Structures are given as C-alpha cells and as structure tokens.
C-alpha cells in the first residue's frame, strides 16, 4: 500500500483558497469538502486540506494558529515533472495573489530546480524537479 499525504492548511476564506489551488492545478474533491474545508487533490497520493481557522483550531488543543503572513510553520516540498512545470506553477501562483521566488542553493538548474511558493494565506509550498 502506498502512503497518502494530507497536508492541512489554515485559510481565511475557504472559497478563495479553493479557487487559488484550482488555478494551480489541484482538483477539489467534493466528497470531503464543505463550507469549512476543501479537499484539494494533486494526485492519488498528495492532498491539501484547506480548513477555515475555526475548524483548523479544533485540531491544535492549546496551540494557536501561526500567522503565516509573518511566520512560517512548515515548508511542504513535492516533486514535479520538469523545471518548466515548476516555473509555471510559480507564475500561476504569483498571477493569482500568491508569491514565488527561488532560493539559490548553488545547484545547477539542469540538476535540480525548485521554488518557494506562498498561497494567498501565506502557507508555503516548495515545488521542485530533480534530474533522475
């Protein structure tokens, strides 16, 4: 059995966040979505759950939700099929209210290429490609 990864992100507005992720190429799974959450599918193993703050808070016990516009709580890295696909992902994110930039690690683009991408709520993704 392969492992499925579900990343949970707190969002201010589920509908706006859903729209952003759909533009990036994710698909909404309506069976696991409602007004409090959207289940966004990248592929059969990688999902992002967009949870409104009050719903997300239920899973945190005594902790507070990080202000991801000012602080980072996690950087979620996932692979893509090419450097060009990574660049396009970043372009679409920026075009739709997110941000994308490259942290230069000194590795030639022909070997590995990645971007740091923020969604509209400041949650961080790191799409990357590596030569196999």
Q: What is the assigned CATH class of domain 74-132?
A: alpha beta
Distance CA 102, CA 116 (A): 6
* 71-75 average pLDDT score: 90
What pLDDT score was predicted for residue 132? 87
Please state the domain extents for the chain.
Answer: 1-60, 74-132
What pLDDT score was predicted for residue 2? 83
Say yes or no: do domains 1-60 and 74-132 share a fold. Answer: yes
Q: Give the model confidence (pLDDT) of 100-119 as tens digits.
A: 999 998 999 999 999 999 99
* 64-81 average pLDDT score: 93
The alpha carbon torsion through 39, 90, 83, 112 (nearest 10 deg) reads -90
pLDDT of 1 higher than 80: no
Q: Which CATH architecture has domain 1-60?
A: Roll (3.10)
Residues shown for the chain = 132
What pLDDT score was predicted for residue 73? 84
What pLDDT score was predicted for residue 60? 95
What pLDDT score was predicted for residue 131? 94
H-state helical runs in 25-95: 53-57, 83-95
pLDDT > 90 fraction of the chain, expressed in percent and rounded = 95
pLDDT of 96 higher than 90: yes
Q: Give the model confidence (pLDDT) of 25-71 as tens digits.
A: 999 999 999 999 999 999 999 999 999 999 999 999 999 999 999 99
For residue 99, what are the CA distances in angstroms to 54, 56, 89, 106?
Answer: 25, 23, 10, 22
**pTM more than 0.85:** yes
Number of neighbouring beta carbons within 10 Å of residue 97: 14
């Amino acid at each position: 059995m392969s492992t499925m990864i579900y990343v949970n992100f707190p969002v201010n507005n589920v509908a706006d966040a859903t729209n952003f992720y759909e533009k990036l190429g994710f698909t909404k799974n309506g069976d696991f979505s409602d007004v409090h959450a959207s289940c966004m599918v990248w592929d059969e193993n990688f999902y992002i759950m967009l949870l409104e703050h009050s719903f997300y808070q239920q899973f945190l016990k005594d902790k507070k939700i990080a202000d991801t516009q000012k602080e980072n709580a996690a950087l979620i890295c996932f692979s893509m099929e090419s450097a060009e696909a990574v660049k396009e992902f970043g372009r679409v994110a920026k075009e739709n209210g997110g941000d994308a930039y490259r942290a230069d690690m000194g590795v030639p683009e022909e070997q590995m290429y990645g971007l740091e991408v923020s969604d509209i709520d400041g949650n961080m993704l790191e799409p990357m490609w590596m030569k196999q």
